[in-house]
Structure 1
Amino acid sequence: MHVPDGFINAPVSLAAGVVAAGAVAVSLRGARRELDERTAPLAGLVAAFIFAVQMLNFPVAAGTSGHLLGGALAAILVGPYTGVLCISVVLLMQGILFADGGLTALGVNITVMGVVTVVVAYALFRGLVKVLPRKRRSLTVASFAAALISVPAAACVFTAIYAIGGTTDVPVGKVLTAMVGVHALIGTGEAVITMLTVGAVIAVRPDLVYGARGLAAPLKLRVGGELVDVPAARPVPVAARSTRAVWATGLVTALVLAGFVSFYASASPDGLEKVAADKGIDKNVEEHAAKDSPLADYGVKDIADARISGGLAGVIGVCVTVVAGTGIFWSVRRRHTTDAAPTHVPESV
């Protein structure tokens, strides 16, 4: 659902940019409370993983494909504020390096793909886990539903933005029907990917899943006919619970997906591209400012072999995203640590 330049007029694009900048600023402050020494590098990995999976377009209808938006996945794994930042990093890398998503439309894309998906998905996820049984299976069910709804919700917000600032004269009702219809199908794929990923991480390291914090029910034993709480086990020190294995596994998975599996992704236009072509809202689309980038269109310039070109571009994208994301999240974490450090007051003489 990467909106290109020319779909939305300049005033509305600017307004969306202000909204996106405000959301990022709020998220930078909120992420300080979500990140710690273990999750800061994992947040960068989540951004890189989402970048990789977004390269894997899957067919959803005749001549139409879809790809992960990632807001639900990021919010559940690393928290809603950090999730907005993860998607923003991915969109920034895609726009600057790969000419995917217009640069003047960056605010629209962050608002639609980042803010809306994260807010809708995490609100629904938290609501479901409060009413479902306190089990791991409930978390995967909640993640499925949250991701499923977040995608058509983003489609609705895009349609609202188009209704205000669209550059073509196409009835909004037709755009809304087409966008919600195709993105409901894409949402199913998003839900499956999100559920499987969240389930896999919960299976090996539930302590690293932000959405699972505080949900463990205390164990009980029946003593003399009454249920009593089992004393809590002594927590394992943070230093002893290394995240290196999870980080390495996640990075290798992202590299394989972007560098190899992406070659087999569907070549059909995604949901927004298909609707734009069918309804005529792409008549004023503009060339991307980064169209001459060496990595434009997810290929390395001057490499003729499509498999090698696309795979190498994917690997470069994953590496750049994980480095940029990790650097940003470590900086946010260190800023929080510095701000929270007690001020030394010298003793009076």
Structure 2
Amino acid sequence: MHVPDGFLDLTTSVATGVASAAVVAVALRRAREEVAESTAAAPMAGLVAAFVFAVQMLNFPVGVGTSGHLMGGALAAVLVGPWTGLLAVTVVVVLQALLFADGGITALGTNVLLIAVVTVAVGYAVARGVMALLPKRPASAVPAAAVGALVSVPATSLVFVLLYAVGGAAPLDLGQLTAFMLTWHVAIGAGEAVITALTVGAVVATRPDLVRLVRRYRTSLVVTGADGTSREVVAGASEGPVTAGVRRIGLGWVAGALGVIVVLAGLVSSVASANPDGLEYVAERLGFLDAAEDSVVAGSPVGDYAVLGIDNPVLATGLAGLLGVVVVLAVMLLVARLAAGRRSGPRPRTAESERV
């Protein structure tokens, strides 16, 4: 749901930009507890941002003639916490606009508000609510994250409708716009839920201690020590940041995660659906697609996820995807370390915490 320039008037775009900047500034301060609670947090945040970027390239078909892609707010919030997750998705959205002309420049604040702020806020709130009702074990994070992801997408579409009602480019029947946006984005939300469940499930199966939603609750985690022995520890508490049970992330696990990300961005991205996404499809059906304006960075050497001068579309898309992964990972690591560095006082330590 990357909004292009022209869909909303300048006043609305400026207002969403100011609101998004304010929320991101708060997130930089609030993320310090999430990032600084263990030295595994910063690399995990970088991996999550890179993964969200890679999977956002993979448009999947929805119905006839349209497609959807992961927004990733619920996924990021469940894995690394809501404030760090918001920063991760923001990094993705900003770099997509600046490097790949994906989403407008004047609409950048709108896209941060929709794709990062709303999806994280709604997705995480719903996931926590569902998690509170389920047995307190790591596996419960999977359905909780899936439901959060499912709800976050249509909720975001409704926020777009509200913004359009305030500053839309063309007069529309708002009831019709709401019906179209909800219909398609509920379907896209189902795809988001599947991707989120598979991803969180994979992390829970291999490293449940890295899932921050799990650590918020009193759950049993199996921790493997350096000598290879395993033991069960109680990790988490009902409230507040938790470091109990967090151990070194491990180069093997990082390499495996990076391998998946590289395959998705470098290879699988070339077979993504070419159909318009939900917002573009609705805009075409309701007659306001012509209001879209080309981004001022449309001539970027990697604009539209292709590399200038490379005619082979598979190779061009793959190289653009790999470049994006590298840049997103590097920028998110810098942002995470900036957030951690802003923390006052000593970093919380526990007997179970270890360095990366």
- The secondary structure found in structure 1 opposite 2:169 is coil
Could you tell me which residue of structure 2 aligns to residue 254 of structure 1?
261
What does residue 57 of structure 1 align with? Answer: 59
Note if contact 1:38-1:243 (Cα within 8 Å) is conserved in structure 2: no
Decide which of 289, 293, 302 is 2:309's aligned counterpart. Answer: 302
Aligned ranges for residues 226-245 of structure 1 at < 5 Å?
241-245=248-252
Matched position secondary structure for 1:12: helix
**Where do 5+ consecutive residues of structure 2 fail to align?**
222-230, 236-242, 348-356
In structure 1, the residue matched to 2:322 is 315
Q: Any residues of structure 2 matched to 1:59-98 within 5 Å, and which?
A: 59-98=61-100
CA RMSD of aligned residues (A): 2.0
Q: Which residue of 1 aligns with 2:24?
A: 24
Residues 286, 217 of structure 1: alpha-carbon distance in 2 compared, 3 angstrom cutoff? closer
- Cα distance in structure 1, aligned partners of 2:185 and 2:316: 30
SS in 1 for 2:61: strand
Q: How many residues align?
A: 329
Structure 1 position 113 matched with structure 2 position 115: yes
Aligned to 2:12: 12
Shift of 1:329: 0.6
- Give yes or no for contact 1:41–1:330 (8 Å, CA) kept in 2: no
Are 2:234 and 2:245, in contact at CA under 8 Å, matched by a contact in 1?
no
Using structure 1 for the length normalisation, give the TM-score.
0.90
Task: Provide the residue aligned with 1:280 in structure 2.
Answer: 287
1:327 — aligned with what?
A: 334
SS at match of 1:59: strand
Q: Deviation per CA, 1:105-139, whole angstroms, max 9, x where unpaired?
A: 01100111111110111111111111111233321
What does residue 148 of structure 1 align with? Answer: 150
Residues 226-284 of structure 1 show CA distances to partners (whole Å, capped at 9, x for unaligned) of xxxx995899996x623322222211111110110011111100001100111112222
- Give me the TM-score of the superposition, normalised by structure 2: 0.88
SS of 1:62's equivalent?
coil
C-alpha separation in 1, matches of 2:211 and 2:195: 16
Corresponding position of 2:175:
173
Correspondent of 1:340 among 340, 345, 349: 345
**Distance in 1, Cα, partners of 2:208 & 2:244:** 14
**Structure 2 letter corresponding to 1:105:** A
8 A Cα contact 2:71 2:115, kept in partner: yes
Higher mean alpha-carbon deviation, 148-157 vs 38-47, is at 38-47
- Distance in 2 (alpha carbons) for counterparts of 1:103 and 1:81: 24
Matched, 1:34 2:39: no
Instruction: Tell me the residue number matched to 2:140.
Output: 138
SS in structure 2 at match of 1:65: strand
Which residue in 2 is equivalent to 1:223?
none
Q: CA deviation at 1:335?
A: 2.4
Q: Is 2:7 aligned against 1:2?
A: no
Q: Larger deviation: 277-286 or 297-306?
A: 277-286
Residues in 2 aligned to 1:217 and 1:204: alpha-carbon distance in whole angstroms: 16
C-alpha change, 1:242 and 1:281, in structure 2 (3 Å) is same
Structure with higher Rg: it is 1
Deviation at 1:41, TM superposition (A): 1.4
